[in-house]
Every structure is written in C-alpha cells, then in structure tokens.
C-alpha cells in the first residue's frame, strides 16, 4: 500500500519531531555521525569545510564507529527521556556508508528498543537497500531531492559516482541518473509503508520556480511530506565562488506556499540540523553528553521513558486537537461572514479587510512563549487572520545576549540583523526584552509584547486587539445622539 499524507496513521508521526510540527515542541532527536563518505558533489557543499560553531547538515565535531554510536545513544536515552528518534544523516550519505549505517541501527535497536529509527540519504543507493530498511523497522526515510528536471539538476550537482559501475557521471547525465534513482526509491519505500520526507534546497535563480513541480511529482509517488530548506552556502564551495545568495524569508514562504498549492504537506519547522545534533529541534545539547559525562549516566529505564513519552504524546494530541478546533472555527466564521445579497451592512471582518498579521515568537519549546528576547537564537514566525493561526517557519539569528550577563560584543549590528530578519512581522512575543531592543523594534514597526503563555492563544489575543484598532469606526450621523 502506498502511504501518503492522507492514508498514514497519526500514530506513526506523533512522537517524531521532524514529521510533526506539534511533536517537535516536546520530543527530542539524536543524530549519530557514522557515515563520512559521500557519492555526489552538490555545488553548495564543501566537504573540506567544518566548524564547531556551524549549525547545518554535513557538520560534525567527531566521527563515531557503530559501536561508539550505540553506546552514546544508550547513555543519552537514559538521561534524555524525551528522546524518541535516532537518525543517521551523515556527515556524508548514510547509504554511501551502508555497512556502518545498518550495523549502527542494529546495535541501537538492541540497546534502546523504544526509539524510532530514521535515515537520511540522497537516494542514489536507495533501491538496493529497501528490504534491509524494512526489515530493520526503519519507518521514516528522508531523501534530499532538489530537482526532477536533469537540466536544472545539472546546475546543482557537480558529479555523481555510481559505485556498482565504478563510474563518475557529470553534468546533465549525472543529474538524470540521480533523479531516476531518487524517484524510483520514493515509490518503492512508499509501497512498503515507509513514510518518506523529501528535503529540497531552495536555490534562487535555479530551482525556485521548479520546486512546485518537484512537490507535485513526489506527492504522486507517495511522499508524506515536503521540506523546502533555504540554501546554506559552505565556504569554499562553487556557489560561494559564483556569488550566489541564500533566499530571503519572503522568497522561502512564497515557494513553500506554491508547493503547498500542489497538495503537499509542507514542513516549516526544519532547523537544518548538524549531523551530530542532540535535543529538541532548535536546541543542541550535544555539549551535555560528552563521553566523560556519559561515564556517570544512570542505567536505561525503559519504563520511565515510556511513562514520560506517553504524557508528552498526550500533550501533542491535545495541541493537534486545539489546532484542528481553531481551524474548524475559522472555517465556520468565514462561511457565516459572507456579505450575502441584501445585507445592509458589511461585516466587521470585511471592514477591517481581515489583514493577515505575522508574529515572531521567542520559545524554547512546549508550544509556549517562554524565552527572553536576548537569549533567542531563533524566532518562530506565525501568521493569523484573527481566527486561525498558521506556523510559517523559523528565522535563525545570533542571540542578542549570550548568557545572563555577557552580551554580544557587537550588539548594535546583531540587533539590526534581527530587526531585518523580522521586518515582515507586526509583533514579537517574548518573556522579557531590554529597553534598547524594545525601542529598535518599535521604530521598525514591530510591537514587542512581553507575556508568557500558549503561543496560539496569545497570538489570537493580539490579533483581536490589532484588528479592532485597524477596523474603520462607524461614523456619527449629524443630528443623531
């Protein structure tokens, strides 16, 4: 059976932070870097470049053997009880290192049987490993696919190496060879009941107008979700030499919307994680789980893990139900708010123009406003019409303050970057903000609101107030009291 977004069970994603926007607020993931080799050359990537402070795919602090990875997962799982997913996403390609990858998964399955196993690949070697993926119980596979047209793909990939033939393909031939393997792999996995997420890098001027076709194609083959990620250009890469630019938030939202119009389920909460990330999405806790610290880790308690995760799963389901109720209420309001023929007065909704408002949120998770502005390394951006709230995506920034007392040395430049990044927002929710950033945001037309609580509830509260202020007021008729 082909498993699509319509036919899949919610239970298969309710604890997966990448496949569920609600789950990512509560459940943690861990990537183990056991796959260093890669079999394709993307023109935005430079395999020689690495930096401990970089947060992007392909970056790690250390490589592990399968045995080391298994020990580390067990140590982390015994302390990070909300760890629900363990994946292999590099730093190269997981299936260009198939022996290490599957040996790691077998070790993890035996050591920590309650975690979900997840694999990321470029799809080149996928077809010959379908049966092993299914046998190991790997229910989620992510495939990075940037084009379905070889002509466009030739501008993204430098070369593709087929290990079976011992041959390196280049140009349009390389792109066509890779795309063919990817499409067949997506269909084969979907027919086996594996949930497939397709990641696509948005590259302005190359595939920005093409990605809706990618979205339509992979959905027809059974892909569960499509994740459009902004281009990150590695230093020393071909794209850096060519002077290419990353997309703006406006460009990213436009492409995501166009892909959504093709019927695909769009992932908007991706953090483009490192290949050794640990913790909630947007929170890297790898420093809390060094080898030295893991030596004193407590024994794995599967009962304690299950108890906590059942509680978190209930919170995720409640969040989903609340969102569904808001969506249904919004649809009912839109249905009843039509200006039917013969209506003497337009509705307040029409008077106000029902302008969409964008709101930035500082949050450390759990669906709440619970973070000070100065400590935020990212802002979650939402859009609302006053009746429903939609999550648009993540804006990564450099934290205005580092720690409680030590602030960034170039605070003015950092603040300016944050303001520019959030320039399309009308408000920002946080639990606290200093006078200087508050003034800067107000001057840019962004209203700083300091109030902890549930994100969606606070946004609707703000929207109600804002729409009331913007709505035209009834004019007094002369001579009437």
Per-residue pLDDT of the chain (481 residues; tens, 9 = 90+): 444 433 333 447 899 999 998 898 899 999 999 999 999 999 998 866 444 444 456 566 789 999 999 999 999 999 999 999 999 988 999 999 999 999 999 999 999 999 999 999 999 999 999 999 999 999 999 999 999 999 999 999 999 999 988 999 999 999 999 999 999 999 999 999 999 999 999 999 999 999 999 999 999 999 999 999 999 888 889 999 999 999 988 899 899 999 998 888 999 888 888 889 999 987 788 889 999 999 989 999 999 999 999 999 999 998 888 777 766 665 555 555 444 333 333 332 333 346 899 999 999 888 899 999 999 989 999 999 988 898 998 898 888 875 433 444 568 888 999 999 999 999 999 999 999 999 999 999 999 999 999 999 999 999 988 887 877 766 666 665 5
Of 85, 80, 158, the residue nearest 120 (C-alpha):
85
384 is written with which tokens? Answer: 């609302």
What does the CA dihedral 454, 455, 461, 467 come to, rounded to 10 degrees? -170
d(CA 337, CA 352): 13
Burial of 463 (0-12, 13-18, 19+ CB in 10 A): buried
> Which helix (H) or strand (E) is 153 found in, with range?
helix 150-153
394 is written with which tokens? Answer: 């993540």
Q: What is the pTM of this model?
A: 0.80
Bridge partners of residue 393, in order along the sequence: 381
Question: 363 with 371: CB under 8 angstroms?
Answer: yes
Of 381, 380, 363, 383, the residue nearest 372 (C-alpha):
363
Angle between helix axes 435-443 and 411-421 (nearest 10 degrees) is: 40
d(CA 345, CA 471): 14
Residues with Cβ within 8 Å of 159's Cβ and at least 6 positions away in sequence, in order, are 40, 41, 168, 169, 170, 174
d(CA 270, CA 436): 30
Q: Could you tell me where the beta strands, DSSP code E, fall in 262-340?
A: 266-267, 278-279
């Amino acid at each position: 059976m082909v498993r699509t977004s319509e036919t899949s069970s919610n239970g298969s994603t309710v604890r997966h932070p990448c496949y569920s926007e609600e789950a990512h607020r509560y459940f943690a993931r861990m990537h183990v870097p056991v796959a260093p080799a890669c079999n394709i050359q993307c023109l935005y990537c430079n395999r020689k470049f690495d930096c401990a402070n970089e947060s992007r795919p392909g970056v790690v602090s250390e490589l592990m053997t399968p045995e080391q990875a298994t020990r580390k997962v067990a140590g982390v799982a015994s302390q990070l009880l909300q760890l629900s997913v363990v994946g292999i996403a590099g730093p190269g390609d997981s299936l260009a290192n198939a022996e290490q990858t599957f040996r790691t998964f077998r070790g993890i399955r035996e050591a920590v049987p309650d975690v979900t196993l997840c694999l990321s690949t470029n799809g080149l070697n996928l077809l010959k490993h379908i049966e092993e993926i299914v046998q190991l119980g790997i229910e989620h596979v992510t495939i990075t696919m940037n084009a379905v047209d070889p002509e466009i793909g030739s501008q993204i990939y430098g070369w593709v190496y087929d290990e079976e033939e011992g041959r390196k393909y280049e140009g349009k031939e390389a792109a066509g060879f890779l795309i063919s393997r990817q499409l067949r792999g997506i269909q084969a996995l979907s027919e086996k009941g594996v949930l497939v997420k397709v990641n696509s890098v948005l590259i302005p001027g190359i595939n920005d107008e093409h990605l809706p076709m990618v979205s339509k194609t992979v959905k027809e083959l059974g892909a569960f979700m499509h994740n459009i990620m902004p281009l990150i250009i590695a230093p020393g890469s071909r794209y850096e030499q060519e002077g290419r630019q990353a997309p703006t938030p406006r460009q990213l939202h436009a492409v995501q919307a166009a892909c959504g119009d093709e019927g695909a389920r769009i992932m908007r909460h991706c953090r483009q994680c490192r290949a050794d990330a640990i913790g909630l999405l947007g929170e890297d806790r790898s420093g809390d789980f060094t080898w030295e610290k893991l030596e004193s880790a407590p024994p794995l308690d599967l009962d304690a893990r299950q108890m906590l995760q059942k509680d978190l799963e209930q919170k995720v389901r409640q969040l989903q139900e609340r969102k569904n109720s808001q969506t249904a209420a919004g649809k009912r309001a839109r249905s009843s708010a039509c200006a039917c023929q013969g209506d003497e007065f337009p509705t307040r909704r029409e008077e106000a123009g029902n302008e969409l408002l964008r709101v930035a949120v500082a949050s450390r998770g759990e669906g709440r406003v619970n973070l000070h502005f100065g400590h935020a390394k990212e802002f979650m951006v939402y859009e609302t019409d006053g009746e429903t709230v939609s999550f648009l995506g993540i804006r990564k920034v450099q934290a205005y303050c580092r720690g409680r007392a030590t602030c960034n040395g170039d605070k003015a430049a950092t603040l300016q970057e944050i303001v520019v990044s959030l320039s399309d927002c009308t408000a920002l929710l946080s639990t606290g903000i200093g006078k200087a950033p508050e003034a800067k945001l107000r001057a840019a037309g962004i209203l700083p609101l300091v109030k902890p609580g549930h994100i969606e509830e606070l946004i609707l509260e703000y929207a109600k107030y804002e729409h009331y202020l913007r709505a035209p007021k009834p004019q007094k008729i002369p001579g009437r009291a």
